[in-house]
Amino acid sequence: MNMTCDQFRDLLIDHVEGELIVDVQELFEFHRTRCPNCGAYLESYHYTIRITRKLPGPPLPAEVEARLRESLRPHLGGGD
């Protein structure tokens, strides 16, 4: 089974959170290694996370973070 770039982007949050089941994680990694665009996208995604964690200020309350992640989930995708 192949994974599309849209499917890859839809799984980014779950990947970062370590919530992908083994079979899906393997497909995710397989796609990442063979798609230069998605590999670069994942790298920039991780970079953004590292940079924003260095920003000053208290962390978001867990409930606010969960709502923010859920509201952003539909917007992570783009065109292939």
In this structure, the number of other CB atoms found within 10 A of the CB of residue 76 comes to 16
Burial class (CB in 10 A: 0-12, 13-18, 19+), 42: buried
Question: What is the reported pTM?
Answer: 0.65
pLDDT in tens, 16-75: 999 999 999 999 999 999 999 999 999 999 999 899 888 887 878 999 989 988 888 887
pLDDT at 54: 87
Which tokens sit at 41?
A: 């996208």
